[in-house]
Amino acid sequence: MVPRVWSLMRFLIKGSVAGGAVYLVYDQELLGSSDKSQAVLQKAEEVVPNAVYQFSQYVCEQTGLKLPQLPAPPKFNFHIRDSWNSGIITMMSALSVAPSKAWEYSKEGWEYLKEQTK
């Protein structure tokens, strides 16, 4: 009985985390325009390090452990907006050409096999 309850609890926790992630992406409009996505990422860049620091301080106070100070994350001079749309366009272009390319390659392969069997 206990293993079934434990597996049900694991399933519910994983489902809750996945649902929360989907809701967060929808709520913050991460899949919207690149300007909105970049604004959300900049906001997260400002908020997340402070939240991690406060949480580590809380854990230290509650447990008596001393956690080492993490180094600051590296700063990249890269804006997601510059490459987001070009990456999506390239991927969709490759997916749209894939069936015709597969047909071309199979035709070339068939011709090669015909020549080799002569």
Tell me the pLDDT tens digit for each residue of 75-99. 777 666 666 677 777 888 888 889 9
24 and 37 part of one domain: no
27 and 14 part of one domain: yes
Mean pLDDT estimate for the chain: 82
99 and 113 part of one domain: yes
Rounded percentage of the chain residues whose pLDDT exceeds 70 = 90
26 and 40 part of one domain: no
Instruction: Give residue 79's pLDDT.
Output: 67
26 and 38 part of one domain: no
Residues 6 or more apart in contact with residue 73 via CB below 8 angstroms = 49
Q: Is 64 left (phi over 0), alpha (psi -120 to 50) or beta?
A: left
Beta carbons of 66 and 60 less than 8 angstroms apart: yes
Domain of 25, in residue numbers:
1-31
9 and 37 part of one domain: no
Q: How far apart are CA 112 and CA 108, in angstroms?
A: 6
Higher-confidence residue: 28 or 22? Answer: 22
Going by pLDDT thresholds of 50, 70 and 90, the confidence category of residue 105 is very high
37 and 27 part of one domain: no
Tell me the pLDDT tens digit for each residue of 32-43. 777 777 787 788
Q: How far apart are CA 107 and CA 56, in angstroms?
A: 61
Q: How far apart are CA 40 and CA 75, in angstroms?
A: 17
54 and 37 part of one domain: yes
Residue 31 has pLDDT above 90, yes or no: no
Number of domains in the chain: 3
21 and 38 part of one domain: no
